[in-house]
Amino acid sequence: MTARTITISPVTRIEGHATIAIELDDDGNVADSKVHFQSIRGFEKFVEGKPAEEIPRIVTRICGICPWHHHLASNKAVDRCFGVTPTPAGHKLRELIQTIAHAEDKLLHFFFLAAADFVIGPDADYAVRNVIGIAKANPELAKQVVTMRYKAKMILENFAGKSIHPVAGVPGGFARPMSEKDRQWILADMREIQDFALFAIDFAKKEVFPKYLDTIKMLGVINTGFIGTVDDNGALNLYDGRIRLMKPDGSYTDFDPQDYTDYIGEKTVDWSYGKFPYAKAWGEGFSLDLDEPKGIYRANTLARINAADKMATPRAQAELEEFRELFGRPAQATLLYHYARLIEEVYACEHAIEMLEDPEITSPDVRAEAEPGAGRGVGCVEAPRGTLIHDYTTDENGLIKTANLIVGTTHNLGPINMSVNQAARALIQNGNVDEGLLNKVEMSVRAYDP
């Protein structure tokens, strides 16, 4: 019997729309909890009949925080539908810009959304437990954060036209070449952002994580598999590669993104508009049971660094080794998503600089001509929030017949429900509820950066 329900609405400092409902029994203990994901817009339907080359400029509106990733996954799907291969420079410019978008996104999430829980404290008054509170408590840090994130964002804006809801990716490549002058200033800015990324991970390792080690080991911890993209050498890749689906015991299968329907299914539950992807290929069905989950895997930063054998750049690799020394592989503690995010931040900066030093990045040959036609294409990238899949079919005029989308965050909808359930049961006992406890329940969601 439910004696009362606690409604945390809206879940805040996340990107989407969610409500947490925690049901307490007569003794004030948690009987059940649900995370209601409230958004449904229907992109799968309303892109039908539109020219495929227009879709990369429409699906960006799925997410204003990670529009670059939808834009590029969509372009990759259209490339395949039309049978066009991007020119080498077009491919590289897409990857470079996507990598810089990752670098910007991780600063945004860690400092603007999540950090207040650690820097101001999980129990602090909600009026100051936010980035504005950080700006008042630590104006120097806030100034640095605002400046560095802005710098990354303005690279996207000034070179690629639009940073929010971008347009510069096109079927067959990229819309404009990079001049030597652009390359120079972007490289200088990325070096500064890399310095800040190295500062950020040191800051977190010294000032943040050690203070919360007990919380990290306890809050929202569940046992699941993981998904992430790797290159031919098994190193983490954000733009392209094979998808690796890892079981909770660390064993894994790699597959071509074109074959994703053989591996991933989506379950619908009565309390969420958002569907819950699960590992169909494991053949064990679907269950969110905390002791015996079935088919459950996680995506996003922690998942990617668990799935990958290594990082392709030296400083990020050193950070990964240090992380694995402490937490093993696969690491399951949910709050480690934040730590993994900062390792990926280092990688994104290093990799962007590598690409900017590649002479081909300034080649004028950025776009291959495309011919509209019938086909099917699966486009996949690692969005900040997880493995992002766009799957289109087109008719003979190159208009969209069907579209199927599996969005990064949705891989984590089942795991978020589990983490909230675990956190609520551990924290709320005998009817004792306060704001700090409820915020800690939300912290188990925020780690996933949904």
> For residues 256-285, which are near other proteins according to CB under 8 A?
260-261, 264-273, 275, 277
Instruction: Give the shortest CB-258-to-other proteins separation in angstroms.
Output: 13
Residues 53, 370: contact at Cβ < 8 Å?
yes
CB closer to other proteins out of 166 and 225: 166
Q: 31, 137, 141, 175: which one contacts other proteins (CB under 8 A)?
A: 175
Which residues in the 51-70 window bind other proteins by CB under 8 A?
51, 53-54, 57-58, 61-65, 67
Instruction: Give the shortest CB-231-to-other proteins separation in angstroms.
Output: 25
Residues 82, 375: contact at Cβ < 8 Å?
yes
Which residues in the 1-40 window bind other proteins by CB under 8 A?
4, 6-10, 12-13, 15, 17, 19, 21-22, 34, 36, 38-40
**Stretch touching other proteins by CB under 8 A, among 131-139, 196-204, 216-224, 302-310:** 131-139
Residues 206, 342: contact at Cβ < 8 Å?
no
Beta strand residue intervals within 103-224, DSSP E: 169-170, 173-174
Q: 83, 250, 314, 364: which one contacts other proteins (CB under 8 A)?
A: 364
Q: 91, 110, 118, 172: which one contacts other proteins (CB under 8 A)?
A: 172
CA angle 215, 409, 333 (to 5 degrees): 20
Q: 31, 176, 329, 401: which one contacts other proteins (CB under 8 A)?
A: 176
CB closer to other proteins out of 146 and 235: 146
Q: Does 220 bind other proteins (CB under 8 A)?
A: no
Q: 129, 244, 298, 440: which one contacts other proteins (CB under 8 A)?
A: 129
Which residues in the 80-119 window bind other proteins by CB under 8 A?
82, 108, 112-113
Q: 258, 399, 425, 429: which one contacts other proteins (CB under 8 A)?
A: 399
Which residues in the 297-336 window bind other proteins by CB under 8 A?
none
Q: 2, 26, 150, 326: which one contacts other proteins (CB under 8 A)?
A: 150
Q: Does 170 bind other proteins (CB under 8 A)?
A: yes
Instruction: Give the shortest CB-267-to-other proteins separation in angstroms.
Output: 6
**Residue 3 is encoded by which pair of tokens?**
């004696």
CB closer to other proteins out of 274 and 330: 274
Residues 90, 51: contact at Cβ < 8 Å?
no
For 215-280, the three-class secondary structure string (H helix, E strand, C coil) is HHHHCCCCCCEEEEEECCCCEECCCCCEEEEECCCCCEEEECHHHHHHCEEEECCCCCCCCEEEEH
How many Å apart are CA 96 and CA 355, to the nearest integer? 6
Residues 66, 101: contact at Cβ < 8 Å?
yes
**Residue 124 is encoded by which pair of tokens?**
């602090």
What lies within 8 Å, CB to CB, of 91 at 6+ separation is: 173
432 strand-pairing partners:
429
CB closer to other proteins out of 108 and 349: 108
CA torsion 63-69-71-73 (nearest 10°) is -120
What lies within 8 Å, CB to CB, of 251 at 6+ separation is: none
Instruction: Give the shortest CB-349-to-other proteins separation in angstroms.
Output: 19
Instruction: Give the shortest CB-365-to-other proteins separation in angstroms.
Output: 10
